[in-house]
Amino acid sequence: MKKISENIIVAGFGGQGIMMLGKIIAQAGMLSGLNVTWIPKYGAEVRGGTAHCMVKVSSEEIASPLIVSPDSLVVMNKPSIIKFEESVKSGGSVVINSSLCDYNIIRNDLFVKVIPATEIASDIGDIKGANMVALGALLKLRPFLELKDVVSALKDILPPYRHKYIPLNEKALYEGFNFRA
């Protein structure tokens, strides 16, 4: 097995599927036989307030679940990029949902993918899939998980009454992965 160590922060507003995205990454990591941690953090308002989670995926044991300097950052809104941009490791990757974030990255030592995730998700049928579009874009930049494991994780994380949305989420994942600006 190749060595994998990825520290990810996913951030946005409550209600954008931020926590769900973190859980899916963690579950996909476990399905890949990796060690994982997932820590959610909500603002006071929860839905509509700020939300972010920290996810670690590693082939090695994880000593601490906290992330100070992530390898990857997925931001779904402008306040999140303003808050977390400076914390990303040099050479790290940032995925920005340009549908809700008109912000230019200040740093030039990051790999940045700007993607209209909300618009893409809306075009394929449901804006709630924007988080999966963003994950697909991240996995194109940093292939620390296989897409098939992410799709399998959807079956584990989504409750049975939402399994009808798995094909839509899978399509959103691949649209993000294959997006070219």
CATH number at residue 161: 3.40.920.10
pLDDT at 46: 54
Whether 138 has a pLDDT exceeding 70, the answer reads yes
Q: In the chain, how many domains are there?
A: 1
Number of alpha carbons in the 13 Å side-chain half-sphere of residue 64: 4
What is the pLDDT of the chain when averaged over all its residues? 94
Residue span of the structural domain in which 125 resides: 5-178
pLDDT at 50: 78
Instruction: Name the residue with tokens 């049975």.
Output: 160
Query: 110 and 93 in contact (C-beta within 8 Å)?
Result: yes
pLDDT at 47: 60
Q: Would you place residue 151 in the very low, low, confident or very high pLDDT band (cuts 50, 70, 90)?
A: very high
> What's the whole-model pTM score?
0.94
Residue 163 in tokens: 């399994």
Whether 64 has a pLDDT exceeding 70, the answer reads yes
Query: 75 and 55 in contact (C-beta within 8 Å)?
Result: no
Q: Would you place residue 93 in the very low, low, confident or very high pLDDT band (cuts 50, 70, 90)?
A: very high
Q: Report residue 102: phi and psi, to 5°.
A: -100, 80
Q: For 9-56, write each residue's pLDDT tens digit.
A: 999 998 899 999 999 999 999 999 999 999 999 766 556 667 999 999
Q: How far apart are CA 105 and CA 76, in angstroms?
A: 14
Query: 51 and 14 in contact (C-beta within 8 Å)?
Result: yes
Q: Would you place residue 125 in the very low, low, confident or very high pLDDT band (cuts 50, 70, 90)?
A: very high
pLDDT at 15: 86
